[in-house]
Homo-oligomer: A and B are copies of this chain.
Amino acid sequence: MSLWFDDLSVGDRFASHSVGIDADSIKTFARHFDPQPFHLDEEAARDTVFGGLVASGWHTAAVAMRLMLDGGFPVSGGMIGTNADLRFLRPVRAGDELHVECEVLEVAPSRSRPDRGTVRLRCNAINQRGETALRLETAVIVLRRGSEETAQV
């Protein structure tokens, strides 16, 4: 299933498969982008408010993006965000499994560009206990059917 702007309506819902988050990926991301003790090392993380290793919120957001592309928001021709509002609701720990569920909140054809529109959506990254770890509201540009001949996004 891969959809164009024309296929989307307010209230449409999609869900991705699940992926596991392991300690190695948490630490690798943290070393590059968020080197704080509670993201880098189990031992150091134990004495923090998290009581153990947790994923950077930016890592969780990046995983959520991947899951959106992999079925959470299955659009054709690319997904280009213009803004995003993130709520970090629960820590993500090594061994957690996340999937995303997205709902279309608003669809607005572009006034100036006939080949595209903006879609506002809410996506939740949900763990294996059914808890939402991250809530993401974002506006993305989505192409209209047929636009692949005039613009490739």
- Looking at A8-16, A59-67, A94-102, A123-131, the stretch in contact with chain B turns out to be A59-67
Interface SS of A by simple majority: mixed
Q: Is there an interface contact between B49 and A56, defined as CB atoms closer than 8 Å? A: no
Interface hits, A14-44 → B, CB 8 Å: 29, 32-38
- Tell me the bound Cα distance from A153 to B38 in angstroms: 8
A contact residues vs B (CB 8 Å cutoff): 29, 32-38, 47-49, 56-59, 61-63, 65-66, 69, 78-88, 151-153
CB contacts (< 8 Å) of A69 on chain B: these are: 34-36
Q: Is there an interface contact between A83 and B78, defined as CB atoms closer than 8 Å? A: no
Q: Is there an interface contact between A82 and B78, defined as CB atoms closer than 8 Å? A: no
